[in-house]
Amino acid sequence: MVNQAYVRVILRCIHIATGIFLVGYVYKFHADPNATRVAQLVVIPAIAVSGLLLWQHGRIVRWWRSTASQTSAGRG
């Protein structure tokens, strides 16, 4: 099992790296059609998902554990 603090560090790095790309896109690369496609399909969804996971990480982990324990209890 991965340490939860390590997961938050990874999510934070993803969030910061994609944010840096987005800032570079806004100020420098907005005329490039390839950068526009990457920003629309990869960067903006990655920022949204990583931000939500950072914000609600504890709640998601508790939900996941309760779901897993209910599933394993039903099998026994």
- Which residue ranges make up each domain of the chain? 4-75
pLDDT beyond 80 at 76: no
Q: Is pLDDT at 8 greater than 80 in this prediction?
A: yes
Q: What is the residue-wise DSSP string for 52-72?
A: HHHHSHHHHHHHHHHHHHHHH
Above 60 in pLDDT, residue 10? yes
What local confidence, expressed as pLDDT, does residue 59 receive?
92
56-to-23, 29, 36, 41 alpha-carbon distances in Å: 24, 32, 29, 23
Give the global pTM: 0.69
